[in-house]
Amino acid sequence: MKRPKLKWGLAALLLASLAGAQSPKPQADDRTLYLYIWSEYIDDAIVEDFEKKFGVNVVIDLYESNEDMLAKLLGGGVSQYDLVVPSDYAIPAMIQQKLLAPLEHHKLPNFKNLDPKFVNPPFDPGNRYSIPYQWGTQGLAYRADLVQDLPRSWGVLFDPELQQGPFVLNDTMRDTMGSAAIYLGYSVNTTDPDELRDIERLLRATTPRAHSFVGGVGGKNQLLAGVATVAMVYAGDALKAAEENENIRYFVPDEGGIVWVDNIAITAGARHKDLAHAFINYLLEADVGARLSEYNWYASPNRASLPLIDPELREDESVFPSPELMKKLQFQEDIGKQRRLWDTVWTNIKN
């Protein structure tokens, strides 16, 4: 599918204006905003338009996993950045560790644009600390020109008899261990020691056959280079890769998959909180939310944006999962103190 482009007619612009309240003006000393975000996760044009609108600068630093982001913030980065984009399961731990600042909702008039199902999430009741940014799935992407009749199963990674060529795993603990859990019929949030031992055994047997562990957009790039025939990836990365090579396909395995919600939040040490609120409110404008989804190929939690997104993208199940597919997907949750069990297993897998 060719990547759709937004086509702004008079009706679309009118709808966008009705659904976009003016962002609060930042204070005069808030001239630079520091954003810490996943790689390839925001359109430069969106950032540039914000800079022009408010006469400010945005400095962006990148990470490839929640674990990398958390390590950086805990190592002093919490005072270096104003905004960060953590996944759902990471937020409770960040709140507990006092890494996030409470939001001032009166500075976010476009909060009203959110789809009600993303308001008051279990990982952040009342959206006190975070606002949903994008959401989507993790599954498998593959090179159709390099494999034959690939089973729609996680077994193409975990069962050596189903392997077809080199594959890469996601270098993110929760995603890779969670996918193994799904293959074994377990919850992606399991803390059962016996189940975690099963996951460890499976992945320790799998990693010697894997080409590599790669984070962020690495799986997409390995497929494009022809280094891997199959990769554990996020849906948007797979669809971006398919735009460059039509032989790249994506699916959520029949056993099920992970559905995630990424969120934007203000760090506890942010020095430009007014500007950070203005940026969040700007992202919540209907037209900006639509542009964000069309750039990322991920679903928008912004209900006001949906009519402005190209119908071809809205109807793509890889981007907006159908109700039938949603039944097979699992949300990741904070596992609290049991995270140390996961950390131990992950260390054993990687060493």
**Annotated binding-site positions for spermidine:** 40, 89, 332
> Among residues 263, 252, 333, which one has the least CA distance to residue 89?
333
Distance CA 68, CA 87 (A): 12
Element (H, E) at 338: none
String of DSSP letters for 244-312 = H-TTEEEE--TT-EEEEEEEEEEBTT-S-HHHHHHHHHHHTSHHHHHHHHHHHT-B-SBTTTGGGS-HH
Annotated binding site: 40, 89, 332
Longest dimension (CA), the chain: 63
Distance CA 252, CA 163 (A): 17
Q: What are the φ/ψ torsions at residue 232 (nearest 5 degrees)?
A: -80, 115
Distance CA 139, CA 252 (A): 5
> Among residues 178, 166, 170, which one has the least CA distance to residue 214?
170
Cβ atoms 263, 91 nearer than 8 A: yes
Here the tokens at position 137 are: 């799935």
Cα of first residue to Cα of last residue in the chain, in angstroms, is: 40
Element (H, E) at 115: none
CA atoms within 13 A on the CB side of 203: 31
144, with CB counted inside 10 A (0-12, 13-18, 19+), is middle
